[in-house]
Structure 1
Amino acid sequence: MCWYGAEDRALTDRRRDIAVEVKIGVQHAPREIVLESGQSADEVERVVGEALAGKSQLLSLVDEHGRKVLVPADRLAYVEIGESAPRKVGFGTL
């Protein structure tokens, strides 16, 4: 039995269990963009800061399913970054 990569899988599985909710307001758009990202809150904040500072023309984030969300930096109205929270699994009382 080969255990090669077991630590990598464990790290990836742990990372999937933690999601950061990101809400992006876009100028002249009636609805905000909401996504859950596997990136850390600090990482999302860094990417948003770089886009607003003019280092890139696009805000590029990756959601938990690996899809990229691209927003022109000059059209950003606001970005709300939620706290990292473990994903709830199963049924329970509210």
Structure 2
Amino acid sequence: MEVKIGVQNVAREITFETDESADEVVKAVTAAIENGTPLTLTGEKGRQVLVPAGVLGYVQIGESERRGVGFGNI
């Protein structure tokens, strides 16, 4: 699952892949906002991403896009 996190007053978004389901990510985001605690998610390679809930601009959740290699791929 690909997750993109927009942080207030920061030009670049945080983008990473996670093994968590979309429902798990939504629950983590909702809990962080409601409780005022940092949003904590774990990426595919085991790295943790922590973002303070107060600076979240948006969280976009979607399937990973697999790109083909070579000519003729559409």
**Quick one: which of 70, 74, 78 aligns to 2:58?**
78
Give the fraction of aligned pairs with identical amino acids, expressed as a percent. Answer: 50
TM-score if structure 2 supplies the norm length? 0.84
Structure 1, unaligned runs of 5 or more:
1-19
Would you say how many aligned residue pairs link Structure 1 and Structure 2? Answer: 72
Alignment RMSD: 2.0
| Other-structure match for 1:62 | 42
Q: Match of 2:27, SS?
A: helix
| Other-structure match for 2:20 | 39
- Determine which structure has the larger helix proportion and give its number: 1
Q: Match of 1:43, SS?
A: helix
Greater Cα radius of gyration, structure 1 or 2: 1
- Structure 2 counterparts to residues 2-41 of structure 1, below 5 A: 20-41=1-22
Please identify runs of 4+ aligned residues in structure 1 that moved more than 2 A.
87-94
TM-score if structure 1 supplies the norm length? 0.68
Which letter does structure 2 place at the counterpart of 1:70? L
How far residue 89 of structure 1 moved from its aligned partner, in angstroms, is 8.8
